[in-house]
Structure 1
């Protein structure tokens, strides 16, 4: 190739990098505004900082395109900070013993940490993937399983797509608390999950005895082996700075899973879901659970995933139980009664179930919720459009 050709190629690459940096800046601003405000003062503040820092944004260009996410950068920093608690940045992270509120010193400490550990961060970003396992989303699983059991009594099989470490597969080992109501954890488990409720919709489904689920399988592109301490530490890195209680809960859930591990397989949601359903032994209905899976799929991939469910439902009953962004459900053949602007918002999730077999297809919205199930707004009726939540 000629020198002129190399120069042209370099120019094209430079333009692409500039465009990608601009996109990442917008992504961090959106993340800080929609996901962090009211939940993490540290990440809300740092998201605004990163959006104005080309040097820090440039670190994410080391990551595969599909992994260039605020959560991955912040997790990489958190992972390294765990072993470097003498750095001034740790003073802003309660999970690392810090107690300082976010102030003018935090941005400088963050920039300095990223500069000092540039190579370590680049290595993590290039080779690690986003891995979260928010066990509070088991509230959605409990609600959905109760609805499926009402439609299809008897044993159920559970297949979680995007299972990470598979902690949600042990949903029945955890206690659940809403207000002054609580279920007891199973087998002396220390894990008790809590959430708050908005509106006056019923939450009884959370407290019903779950159906018998003799078959459970988790599938993920990069499943987490919690028997590996380093893998467990990487999972912990996605806990946010102020989430001291959440870190304790995650560690307790990991301990529960280590005592009774559930099977995990490496699989692709858009290629392998129908096959995994077909391989479930027996004829029991299969519940496919996803939590934030659609966030990682583009429009074409979301449509292909839905097609996998439709294919499988020709041969046996399949329930898709989801907690996903409502705007991302477009193209998946799921119909919800949501009114605008809730239909397209990125600030909350829809909890619902899609019941499918060879002859029927029924969709039902069970609740709207915070993406991490910190609060839950149960539907007041099967056709609730949640206009009451939008105006509250």
Structure 2
């Protein structure tokens, strides 16, 4: 099944699990607004504190929705959760932003405002070991999406394999989508299990700080 066909088969809201969530800022992606290639058109949540811009390179074009898909449930898990209601954690997270990236610092401040106004469940622990049990809690009337980014760089090869095995196990009982990079390479991957059948796609290439992306 082609990926563009698959987009039309899932009409459910999303249930999100983020591994390596830190402060959970990415779990609120549907609460942010977006624009591309310096165009005025906005997507997502138009009145969000956070507005993210990016350049699309190449000829591929993702499907852009004026409103983000509904999210019914979301959980983040990390070895150490950085609660943004703790000022020391906010200082630490700010210190991780490169000093010349003033635009990223501004986005971070606004994202902190956004998450402070929204309740997100964050679990402290090993996301790979806890994944199967957390996935059991996700509502079955939602499409389960497990995602992570650069945290996979920090996983030994055997832990990466354990993660993939756990997701396959989740897929034995329900449909599941897995969005990630940095397991095999820096490309953006979407693997999914639908009706027990596994599919794998490389859907794009991305800049590490989100300044540009290309779409396959």
Q: Greater helix percent: which structure?
A: 1
Larger RCO (CA under 8 A, 6+ residues apart): 2
How many residues are matched? 213
Separation in 2 of the partners of 1:169 and 1:147?
A: 26
Note if 1:213 corresponds to 2:213. no
Give the Å deviation of 1:353.
1.0
TM-score normalised by the chain length of structure 2: 0.90
Instruction: Name the structure 2 match of 1:367.
Output: 204
Instruction: Name the structure 2 match of 1:192.
Output: 51
Instruction: Name the structure 2 match of 1:353.
Output: 190
Give the Å deviation of 1:270.
2.4
Note if 1:279 corresponds to 2:116. no
**RMSD of aligned alpha carbons:** 2.1
Greater Rg, structure 1 or structure 2?
1
Which residues of structure 1 form unaligned runs of 5+? 1-143, 330-343, 380-392
Note if 1:267 corresponds to 2:125. yes
Separation in 2 of the partners of 1:356 and 1:263?
A: 25
Q: Greater strand percent: which structure?
A: 2
Instruction: Name the structure 1 match of 2:41.
Output: 182
The alignment partner of 1:226 has SS state of coil
Instruction: Trace 1:186-335 onto structure 2 (pairs within 5 A).
Output: 186=45, 188-203=47-62, 205-322=63-180, 324-325=181-182, 328-329=183-184
Alpha-carbon contact 1:283-1:316 (below 8 Å) kept:
no
Separation in 1 of the partners of 2:121 and 2:154?
A: 23
Separation in 2 of the partners of 1:368 and 1:299?
A: 22
Give the Å deviation of 1:208.
4.6
